[in-house]
A and B are shown apart, each in its own frame.
Chain A
Amino acid sequence: DAKTTQPNSMESNEEEPVHLPCNHSTISGTDYIHWYRQLPSQGPEYVIHGLTSNVNNRMASLAIAEDRKSSTLILHRATLRDAAVYYCILITYSSNTGKLIFGQGTTLQVKP
């Protein structure tokens, strides 16, 4: 399974944009890039996913490098409620794969 590499922690100020990087240099052509976040004392929740093109939804944006070896989750205006652990994972959509392996993630601290 292709692995991802993320910084252990990042800090941001409230109301400012946050760019969370993820490296996945061994990504295959059938791997989708997914982001999840885990708020304190809760299970992870889906944030966004993409394959090749940049994606936007109500929670965040996902910028994918042209060679797909890295991606960046963008929170446009961080709030205190965005303080969480953010996981970047790769998922292959085929019948015999898709184990959904999590790395250590990036702990985001948001300062008021």
Chain B
Amino acid sequence: DADVTQTPRNRITKTGKRIMLECSQTKGHDRMYWYRQDPGLGLRLIYYSFDVKDINKGEISDGYSVSRQAQAKFSLSLESAIPNQTALYFCATRGDSSPGEAFFGQGTRLTVV
């Protein structure tokens, strides 16, 4: 099994629909992250969580919300999807101690039409 699993891998949704992207990890890490990546650009941080009760906004949180259901699960929601949220979304997890290597999922390709 992969260390970080994202579901779905691909999704096409309509403008105005609510959609949830799910992420689960088997590393036992407290820290989890959600990123979006647009074509030809780097990763931008949407939200991050240092434990179940600690959730923080990243660089581009507007239009998104998250839920940390358990240490292993961190979900990203688009309450009312819009076309410019079409992107590749990545979830990551990282341990607290050195080296603190981050592990990324394979990504969810979301298209909003």
Contact = CB atoms under 8 A, between A and B. Distances in A.
A102 B48 CA distance: 13
A34 B31 CA distance: 17
Given A100-B45, A102-B35, A103-B42, A42 B106 contact: yes
A44 B94 contact: no
Contacts of A95: 50, 96
Interface residues of B, number: 29
A37 B42 CA distance: 11
Interface size class of A (residues with CB under 8 A): 20 to 34
Interface of B: 4, 31, 33, 35, 41-45, 48, 50, 56, 58-59, 90, 92, 94, 96-107
Interface of A: 32, 34, 36, 41-46, 49, 85, 87, 91, 93, 95-96, 98-105
Nearest to A50: B99
Contacts of B43: 44, 87, 102
A46 B3 CA distance: 13
B42 A46 contact: no
B104 A44 contact: yes
B92 A43 contact: yes
B100 A43 contact: no
Contacts of B96: 93, 95
Contacts of A102: 35, 42-45
Of A46, A49, A87, most B-chain CB atoms within 10 Å: A46
A104 B48 CA distance: 19
A104 B42 contact: yes
19 contacts: A36-B102, A42-B107, A43-B92, A43-B106, A44-B43, A44-B90, A44-B92, A44-B102, A46-B99, A46-B101, A91-B100, A95-B96, A98-B94, A100-B48, A100-B102, A102-B42, A102-B44, A103-B42, A104-B42
